[in-house]
Amino acid sequence: MKLVRFGPKGAEKPGIVAADGSIRDLSGKAADFADAGLTIEAIERIRALDPMSLPKAPDGVRIGSCVARTGNFLAVGLNYADHAAESGLPVPKEPVLFNKAPNCLAGPDDDVVLPPGSVKSDWEVELAIVIGRTAYRIDEKDAMAHIAGFCVCNDLSEREWQIEGTGQWMKGKCAPGYGPLGPWLVTPDEVGDVQALDMFLDLNGRRVQKGSTRTMVFGAAYCVAYISKFMQLDPGDVITTGTPPGVGLGMKPPVYLKAGDTMHLGIEKLGEQRQKVVASAV
């Protein structure tokens, strides 16, 4: 099952993708996709509906973030051995964790606005996990039962703020809109083996990232269980799980985003995103 949010920014409605590929409006049938609206139980109630009986969304409607809001937007760094190598860092012995701000959430095709003063913004195609059941100190074998679904995330990063100066990763990861999510939230039954998904990112029509979740150092279930040792994960929390090689930081010389650039990225079974980079109006 593919869940989606559609409509103008700030006024999105929950929806579902029908068998014919159309978006159907869940308004009045389901809560927006946050908190209680993303529990496993809420998703099972949606599953019982006939999508073709629901109103059809307008053709060409804007797609919003597939999660309306999140209490925690968490991330796993250096989770692909070859990306760690291009960053000049060792493969971690345990997951490297950091936060993204909740207002990083953006629609999959929304413009990416470079924050004022940014000169080293970078791209990262990633698999994201959305939590569907409260998880605290759970075992890895039980982790999948706590996941509402998976989606594509572009973990945009300002490398100067992340690495230089005091070198705090969070500073480079939290600009507004620096976490486009979607287009779909895909339930685990439709994804199948989440550790066997191809992924890519094109910059201005040139393939720069090509990888697979097969090469993740720590798999999705392990990441959920590991994080739950230190904090309680609640429905609607998002965990983005790292990127394969091919980011701008690792190029020789490095390449960073500038106004007018375009990104096209996607993950097998989870859909694709297309973004234009624009300068800040501030």
Domain 67-278 has CATH 3.20.20.70: no
Q: Residue 224 — φ and ψ, nearest 5°?
A: -60, -50
Does residue 281 carry a pLDDT above 80? Answer: no
What is d(CA 52, CA 230) in angstroms, rounded to the nearest whole number?
43
7 conformational bin, left if phi > 0, alpha if psi -120 to 50, beta if neither: left
Burial class (CB in 10 A: 0-12, 13-18, 19+), 29: middle
pLDDT for 93 beyond 80: yes
Report the range of poorest mean pLDDT among 2-6, 39-43, 165-169, 245-249. 165-169
Give the integer Cα–Cα distance in Å for 42 and 44. 5
Is residue 160 over pLDDT 80?
Answer: yes
Q: Which of 87, 23, 44 is nearest to 14 (CA)?
A: 23
| pLDDT at residue 87, rounded to an integer | 78
- pLDDT of 184-222, one tens digit each? 999 999 999 999 999 999 999 999 999 999 999 999 999
Q: How confident is the model at residue 84 (pLDDT cuts 50, 70, 90)?
A: confident
Average pLDDT over residues 159-175: 92
Which tens digits make up the pLDDT trace of 72-82? 999 999 898 87
**pTM, 2 dp:** 0.96
Least confident of 55-69, 110-124, 157-171: 157-171
pLDDT at 90 over 90: no
The least confident of 128-137, 159-168, 257-266 is: 159-168
Residue 282 has pLDDT above 80, yes or no: no
Output the pLDDT for position 178.
98
Q: Is the pLDDT of residue 167 over 90?
A: no
pLDDT tens profile 214-241: 999 999 999 999 999 999 999 999 999 9
Per-residue pLDDT reduced to its tens digit, 18-74: 999 999 999 999 999 999 999 999 999 999 999 999 999 999 999 999 999 999 999
